[in-house]
Chains A and B, each alone.
Chain A
Amino acid sequence: GQQLNQSPQSMFIQEGEDVSMNCTSSSIFNTWLWYKQEPGEGPVLLIALYKAGELTSNGRLTAQFGITRKDSFLNISASIPSDVGIYFCAGQLAGSARQLTFGSGTQLTVLP
């Protein structure tokens, strides 16, 4: 199946620092989504992107849909301890019936 390359795999940052993670693919996507998953829970949608070049913010989170439609990034500004979790990118491939392909995840640890 199609793969999304998500990086970094893990991050250890100090509280207050900014964070950036990204996903790339060789395939074209119609939609990019960013999720956060905490232990024992299902993924929770953070940001959805529908158009190439789109830049969307949700509080301290900002994500962009790459102009080539093959990549996306997520930035978290001024990190806080509750930002800890696994962040997944997910994309809906062009021509697919709305199934999502998930990246491998970025494990974020925020140190006080």
Chain B
Amino acid sequence: EDQVTQSPEALRLQEGESSSLNCSYTVSGLRGLFWYRQDPGKGPEFLFTLYSAGEEKEKERLKATLTKKESFLHITAPKPEDSATYLCAVQLSGGSYIPTFGRGTSLIVHP
């Protein structure tokens, strides 16, 4: 049973076409929810940490939000260089610091 589910698996957008990626989780006692970006042949690169429902973080064209059951990564007016796989991970409170990752959303932005 997956604790972290990301949707869609793949997303194709035209440059400038805003959209959102979803990360839903079933764990209780969330210590933190993380978003990473992974380019082909590279390791994941950290984007955001969210700790509590209602929290929002922004970086350039990306904005991450968190509710009690899910997180969204909003991409505003994407550019081709935003093409990558976006990974979500959750870390439980009270336990060791081991993030559990979702399978990711592969985003392609066409010029």
A binds B: no
